Structure 1
Amino acid sequence: MEIDEELTLKKLQIFLAFMRNGNLSKTASEMEISNVSVHKALHSLESALRCPLFKHEGRNLIPLKSAYVLQEHSHKLVQDIVVTINKTREAAGFAAKVLHLGSLYSLTVNTIPNVISRLKLRRGELDIQLLLSSNLDLVKKLKSTELDAIIVALNETTRDPDFESLPMFEDNIYLAVNKHSPLASLDEIDLSTLKDETFLTLSKGFATRNDSDLVFEKAGIDPKVFLQVSDIFTLVSMVSTGVGLALLPGRISTIYESSVKLIPLQGSYQIKQEIGLVFLKSKERDPNLLALVAECRMFAKQYIAI
């Protein structure tokens, strides 16, 4: 048997509301439509089913046995449809119980704990899974929908027509040296004078590595790189032992602050990192992402105020 196109889920919902309330006015109020619309929906439902559902007693509609049968089975049908919709949206990452968030190691010093703690207050039922990696790797995982959102450096890797981004704050790049280094007494540094110094860097794909390469290029030097590492905490630790120098963002200033000094670069070599939230435009209406966006906006306002 073919299902008549006039038989819609909306009409079944109106029918179920009428069966619960027993009159047109209460049903219209619940469904936020007019009495006439309720009456038309019920009449159309009878036409689609090709059988009567009610008998008329004055202005009242009295349910027939057929109406009670429809009520029993359509109630389960509507519930199944709702479950189906929810499961489908969860599979696509919309309003799921888990938020897959990616970020840079350096942002776990302040930014990520602040955003996550406030997000948990807003959506306590949400399970947040955090992945730390390089800018390039996180962008790839966002593109392939392995992640729902990332908080990273906004640069050429995040310029994609499928992405939506929200800038949060800017950070300067500094020269990091051991506090016992002769350089530690300087108020600023001319990077071009460090051609013979030994440097430590992050691996390719990290935003700070990309920015370091740009600064070295500006200074006209080909740095002697002693070691490349895959996380910024190891890099700061190596600098603190005096193994070499590194270019690092200011946000890591609280790590090993007793043994590492951050020296501003001279004006011509200064460079800023812009940090922000990035997510797929196709998910911009997802409730979890809307909550995350709200908290990132709040963090950005507080950062500016500070």
Structure 2
Amino acid sequence: MNTRQLRHFLAVMDLGSLSAAAEQVHLSLPALSRSLRALEDVLRVPLFDREGRGLVPTTYAHAYAQRARRMVFDEKEAARELALMRAGELGPLAFGMGASLAHSLLAPMVMQLVTGAPGLRVRTMVQSSDVLFAALMREEIDFFVGDVRMGAHDPDVAVEPLHECGFAWTARAGHPLAGKRALQVADLARFPWVLSGYADEAVLRRLAQLYGLTQPLENHFAVDTTDPATVRAMMVDIDALVPGTDISTVIEVAAGQTVLLDVDPPLELELTLGILRRAGRTVVPAADRAFAIVRRFFADAQAQIASR
């Protein structure tokens, strides 16, 4: 048995088709069939039932698939470790974060990384935490900065919590509601609302409970977008209101562009941001520098939040 056979087996398991798997692993159908039969001979169990022209995974196949994935992963990891020892700080680094974080963190982070290691190739992904988590599990990115709940119960994910977010309703400076006390949801409803960034079902349910809003909650928002420029334009041009995290507004509030509204009840939601990466995976030296930049960003932001 070798990992080539395991890759062939997993391709059939994942794609559910012998022909599709053969195309993916660049083998002819007869060659792929021989590889599967050789693996069955080594394991001494049938992995697939042949039904017509198709293959149906047996109970043995389902039981073996997870261990096979681990063996393939471990082989890739062993080769990766050796490559890192040879390359030093050269090579690729891929990571992601949400749009609200990217607005203030991404550009300075990338510039620091490439300035410190000119041979480094950086690829970034700006997406919601659920999309980033899926990309992490497909090994398309090395890590992402986002909602730590995504990996809280997954043994294959290492989580480093960095910031427990506060939430508030926000508006442009000079908004008609700015400076008013104990605003009610009826006051907020006079203006369009913008949902910015990823919000899971638990957050949306809590938001509905706080303000007595009917479901689906998305119907109360004029726009749902992850684009900071669109959010800002709506706040400035049509007095839109945005429920957001303290970390997403820290720069605008400090610059006097955005104000926090005094709403009763306050926007009490739960969200912890941090670094999520694959457990047990060797990271390039540049990733350690990236982690340090992220930690410093949150520490500085928390100091600004505390000062206001």
Same fold by TM (over 0.5)?
yes
3-state SS in 1 of match to 2:273: strand
Structure 2: segments with no counterpart, 5+ residues:
1-77
Paired with 1:99 and 1:176, the residues of 2 have a C-alpha distance of: 35
Paired amino acid for 2:249: I
2:295 match: 297
Contact 2:136 2:277 in 1 (8 A): yes
2:135 match: 141
Paired with 1:259 and 1:144, the residues of 2 have a C-alpha distance of: 39
Alignment of 1:73-84 (within 5 A): none
Structure 1 residue 286, shift from structure 2 partner: 4.3
Change in 2 beyond 3 A, CA 1:303/1:242: closer
3-state SS in 2 of match to 1:184: coil
Alignment of 1:257-272 (within 5 A): 260-266=258-264, 268-272=266-270
Q: Please point out which of 217, 223, 231 is paired with 1:227.
A: 223
Change in 2 beyond 3 A, CA 1:177/1:300: closer
1:283 match: 281
Paired with 1:180 and 1:301, the residues of 2 have a C-alpha distance of: 29
Q: Please point out which of 206, 223, 226 is paired with 1:214.
A: 206
Change in 2 beyond 3 A, CA 1:264/1:273: farther
Contact 1:149 1:277 in 2 (8 A): yes
Q: Please point out which of 221, 227, 249 is paired with 1:252.
A: 249
1:171 match: 165
Paired amino acid for 2:130: L
Q: Please point out which of 143, 147, 157 is paired with 1:153.
A: 147
Which stretch shows the higher mean deviation, 128-137 or 255-264? 255-264
1:132 match: 126
Contact 1:100 1:129 in 2 (8 A): yes
Paired with 2:283 and 2:161, the residues of 1 have a C-alpha distance of: 19
Paired with 1:291 and 1:178, the residues of 2 have a C-alpha distance of: 35
Change in 2 beyond 3 A, CA 1:274/1:107: same
1:108 match: 102
Paired with 1:301 and 1:226, the residues of 2 have a C-alpha distance of: 34
Paired amino acid for 1:275: L
Which stretch shows the higher mean deviation, 188-197 or 136-145? 188-197
Change in 2 beyond 3 A, CA 1:235/1:155: farther
Alignment of 1:47-58 (within 5 A): none
1:67 match: none
3-state SS in 1 of match to 2:221: strand
Structure 1 residue 159, shift from structure 2 partner: 4.5
Root mean square deviation, CA, Å: 3.7
Paired amino acid for 1:174: A
3-state SS in 2 of match to 1:247: strand
3-state SS in 1 of match to 2:210: helix
Alignment of 1:15-94 (within 5 A): 85=79, 89=83
Contact 1:122 1:291 in 2 (8 A): no
Contact 2:196 2:244 in 1 (8 A): no
Structure 1: segments with no counterpart, 5+ residues:
1-83
Paired amino acid for 1:252: T
Q: Please point out which of 233, 236, 260 is paired with 1:240.
A: 236
3-state SS in 1 of match to 2:260: strand
Paired with 1:300 and 1:253, the residues of 2 have a C-alpha distance of: 11
Choose 1 or 2 for highest CA Rg: 1
Paired amino acid for 2:148: L
Contact 2:191 2:239 in 1 (8 A): no
Contact 2:166 2:269 in 1 (8 A): yes
Change in 2 beyond 3 A, CA 1:201/1:282: same
2:54 match: none
Contact 1:177 1:242 in 2 (8 A): no
Paired with 2:181 and 2:114, the residues of 1 have a C-alpha distance of: 41
How many residues matched?
219
Q: TM-score, normalised by structure 1?
A: 0.57
Paired with 1:119 and 1:168, the residues of 2 have a C-alpha distance of: 20
Contact 1:236 1:255 in 2 (8 A): no
3-state SS in 1 of match to 2:154: coil
Structure 1 residue 99, shift from structure 2 partner: 0.5
Change in 2 beyond 3 A, CA 1:173/1:199: same
Contact 2:184 2:263 in 1 (8 A): yes
